[in-house]
Chain A
């Protein structure tokens, strides 16, 4: 169901471009004078994000032959292609993107999954307490005990749809529908790094301390982003993620 954030696992491995919504003809429209937005749809679904990743990879691969094209930014259902408009014409960027769509759609869709994605990235989380101050709020809203929320959150398998918003921030699909929770009415001025939160159909980990309005249910000591690492971001698009409850410190 669009927007449910619930991801049928088999769809991830579907060798064909997934359902109708994930394979329909993209639209190409300028995003300012130096960007092209390729839109695949409006739904939030793993198949869609995976297609966006595959197309972005194909565009990136085509950059060598298209000077002036910047690094593409895939998201839920779109790819933003930045370019230098004095170095390449919009029409040529659209042509590059069209070719990338064709070649990406011709590949088995697993192309968008990062190497090693078969083994889940495990995120140890201390749920509740000072580190998860909103755990009881989420529980009350759904008529659950806090322990049920932890159980539900930690038993689901999540998929990294794409990275954005902040360095190393992964948009995760797969939150159990029971846990879908609105944001806090007033955002916190500072959410500590490693905080695990829920907002709407999303769950995510704050890679850095920043303001935020997510319902915080726990915290991890995993380092989500480290610029000096050979792989700066811990989460990779297409990878699966599990949260593992830990206690104490």
Chain B
């Protein structure tokens, strides 16, 4: 039983359905996928009373144009790309927005109006986006052409439906109240946003992280869900290179023989044969997912204890935010879903 919520008038350059990902098929070469910024996916979901991991829309740089077919409330998180309700108010992230039938969500024709920082916005609907579960997830696997909406990005004519009466939906009593994420966004915005970002990394199996931390990098034009290429002064010979192909995690900083680092994103290949000089810490993966071409970044080395403390802090912030929303909206089980 589903409810059509949006008609897609224009899909935008890359809008996909993503949830918390598909981690159990990596041994077949299937990428994890899932939200490139998992923090914002969680916030968007929690704002409408969903479990943090439900499927939502991930918007890349430019909004799609969506016509509202069923009155609903959306949770919006991630980058402020300058979207508005046509003829109405701006669609600010970090809060929920009540929508009525006929509203059109879009980016005004002149392009982004907001001083945008970041590259991806997340739209959650109560119950989550209803697409078939493929290999344990609703996430779109662009490389494999499956998951989400037929394994592809949204396009004109698509219909976005909500899974009503979903087991993970906390409250089905419409309409949802309009809520504001309580804390300042301590996800990827902490640390100055994505235009001048600092990514913390722990050393990888191959040495050389110390060479990356001393300089400024710029995200190149090759920046997508698979990974971002970094431009900067070329690294000394011998830092990059090939190695026996091994499994690689999200956030791995690979340096190929040409000395230009690549940081792997949510859709990264499961195995790789370039040297891994470091791995971005889990707490900074949301920020990694918000980088865009031209973002200036610094990489700083940190240790395991600091990485875990940062992750702990991040999860505690999510749980605290969920608790505050619960108090504001009178939701019960919301807090339980935030930790996972």
Contacts and interface: CB of A to CB of B under 8 A. Distances in A.
Interface of A: 29-35, 37, 39, 42-44, 56, 70-80, 82, 85-86, 90, 162-169, 171, 207-208, 210, 225, 227-228, 232-233
B245 interface: yes
Given A80-B249, A85-B282, A232-B135, A73 B270 contact: yes
A26 to B, nearest CB: 12
Contacts of B146: 227-228
Nearest to A70: B23
Contacts, number: 144
Given A163-B29, A166-B29, A233-B29, A37 B247 contact: yes
Q: Interface SS of chain B: helix, strand, loop or mixed?
A: mixed
Contacts of B30: 167, 232
Interface residues of B, number: 44
A165 B134 CA distance: 19
Interface of B: 23-31, 134-135, 141, 143-147, 202, 204-205, 243-249, 251-252, 269-272, 276, 279-282, 304, 307-308, 311-312, 315
Contacts of A33: 202, 279, 281-282, 304, 307-308, 311
A85 B143 contact: no
A86 B28 contact: no
Given A33-B304, A75-B246, 17 more contacts: A31-B247, A32-B204, A32-B249, A33-B202, A35-B249, A39-B246, A75-B247, A86-B311, A163-B27, A163-B28, A164-B270, A165-B29, A167-B25, A167-B30, A208-B145, A228-B146, A232-B135
Contact of A32 (B271, B272, B281, B312): B281
Given A86-B312, A163-B27, A163-B28, A29 B252 contact: no
Given A164-B271, A227-B146, A232-B28, A31 B252 contact: yes
Q: Interface SS of chain A: helix, strand, loop or mixed?
A: loop
5 contacts: A71-B26, A72-B247, A165-B271, A225-B144, A232-B30
A80 B26 CA distance: 10
A32 B280 contact: yes
A233 B304 CA distance: 36
B96 to A, nearest CB: 28
Contacts of A72: 27, 247
A206 B229 CA distance: 24
Q: Which 4 A-B pairs have the closest CB atoms?
A: A80-B247, A32-B279, A164-B271, A73-B247
Given A32-B281, A32-B282, A35-B279, A76 B143 contact: no
Contacts of B243: 42
Contacts of A78: 244, 246-247
A32 B310 CA distance: 14
B143 A167 contact: yes
Nearest to B249: A35
A64 to B, nearest CB: 14
A73 B315 CA distance: 26
Nearest to A81: B247
Most A C-beta atoms less than 10 A away, residue of B24, B147, B279: B279
A37 B204 CA distance: 10
A35 to B, nearest CB: 5
B72 to A, nearest CB: 30
Most B C-beta atoms less than 10 A away, residue of A33, A37, A43, A166: A33
Most B C-beta atoms less than 10 A away, residue of A39, A72, A85: A85
A35 B134 CA distance: 25
A85 B248 contact: no
B303 to A, nearest CB: 9
Nearest to A227: B146
Contacts of A70: 23-24
A132 to B, nearest CB: 23
A70 B250 CA distance: 13
A62 to B, nearest CB: 15
Contacts of B248: 31, 80
Most A C-beta atoms less than 10 A away, residue of B144, B146, B204, B276: B144
A32 B270 contact: no
A40 to B, nearest CB: 10
A82 B271 contact: no
Contacts of B269: 164-166
